[in-house]
Amino acid sequence: MYRGLDGVLYVNADSSGAHPYTINSSDRNEMFKDIITPGDLDGSGKPEVLTLSASGKLSLHQSQGPEGTGHVSWSGNGWQVYSKVFSPGDLDGDGIGDLLARTTWGGLSTYKGTGNVGSTPFKKYAEAPDRNWHRYDQIVGANDVNGDGIGDVFARTPAGDLYFYAGTGDTAKLFKPHVKVGHGFGIHNQLVGADDIDGDGLSRGRMGREGLRRIRDAAGAGIPGGKRPTPGARRWLGRRRGGEELGARGRRNRVTSWACSSRPRFTSERVMGPC
């Protein structure tokens, strides 16, 4: 899912190309602060969509098919206390997507998915003991990167260092110790989660920047490799197939993807063609 230069939302879920996608809202002209797609929360086979308003209202929309959503089935106020709200996927192995929200003091609050999309889709569980999340300028929910069935997270520092947080499956201690998996990621203006785009069961990450689409394949352990972006032309805001929309910047972007194994390493990069 991405927002075009015309302000319209589009979905590009397969090789048939992009088509407009409508989020049913009382204000059809509202520009949401963020759009979060946590996947199928109620087992209906259709992914839900969350929208976050500038005033801090988080609203849940149930998908009505490939063209858009129905009306809001739940909404909650007060989310402006968080500097970042995102979905890492399923954190505890119950098959339901969860939410994470970063506080202004650097903590990370967990909201467990309940499966009830009509009244209480999420229940606040706890705040992670680590309060150092303010050190990152981008945090990306990546769904399951290492194949253990638990949601994972990538985080980038303002200096461009990229860290990987593997989920534990235990909401009392969300992540294993973080591992630095790359540097030089400051050249990208947006990182998003792309889920599994080649059918190997592992999630992907994408970085927005002007240029061509490239994919980095994973094998073993180490840090990213490959060339710097080549200038190009089209805006791409990011999607996560069946997973999470991670917001977007209003600028022209390029797209880079990376594929991850159980020990993230980025070993090659191949040009996929213009975005």
| Residue 235: per-residue pLDDT | 28
pTM more than 0.85? no
3-state secondary structure of 18: coil
Beta strand pairing status for 212-218 and 255-259? parallel
**CB contact set of 44 (below 8 Å; sequence gap of 6+):** 62
Range of the domain at 204: 2-274
CB neighbour list of residue 16: distance below 8 Å, 6 or more residues apart: none
Residue partners of 191: CB distance under 8 A and separation at least 6: 138, 140, 154, 156, 185, 205, 206, 207, 208, 246
H helices, E strands: number in the chain: 0, 22
∠ CA(179), CA(184), CA(188), 5° rounding?
105
pLDDT for residue 93: 92
pLDDT value, residue 26: 74
Domain count, the chain: 1
Half-sphere exposure of 93 (CA within 13 A, CB side): 9
pLDDT at 236: 29
The tokens of 141 are what? 């929910």
Which CATH number do you get for residue 169? 2.115.10
**pLDDT tens series, the chain, 275 aa:** 777 777 788 887 666 778 888 888 877 667 888 999 898 899 888 889 999 999 999 999 988 888 888 889 999 999 999 999 999 999 999 999 999 999 999 999 999 999 999 889 999 987 777 789 999 999 999 888 888 999 999 999 999 999 999 999 998 889 999 999 989 989 888 887 765 444 445 444 444 433 223 333 332 233 233 333 333 322 223 333 332 233 333 332 333 334 333 444 433 333 333 32
CA angle, 52 as apex, 7 and 78 as ends, to 5°? 150
Task: Spell out the residues 6+ positions from residue 220 whose beta carbon is closer than 8 angstroms to its own.
Answer: 261, 263, 265, 267
The residue whose two tokens read 């994972």 is: 152
Q: Are strands 19-20 and 34-39 parallel, antiparallel or unpaired?
A: unpaired
What is the per-residue pLDDT for 4?
77
What pLDDT score does 14 carry? 67
How much is the pLDDT for 191?
82
For residues 59 and 76, what is the distance between their CA atoms, to the nearest angstrom? 7
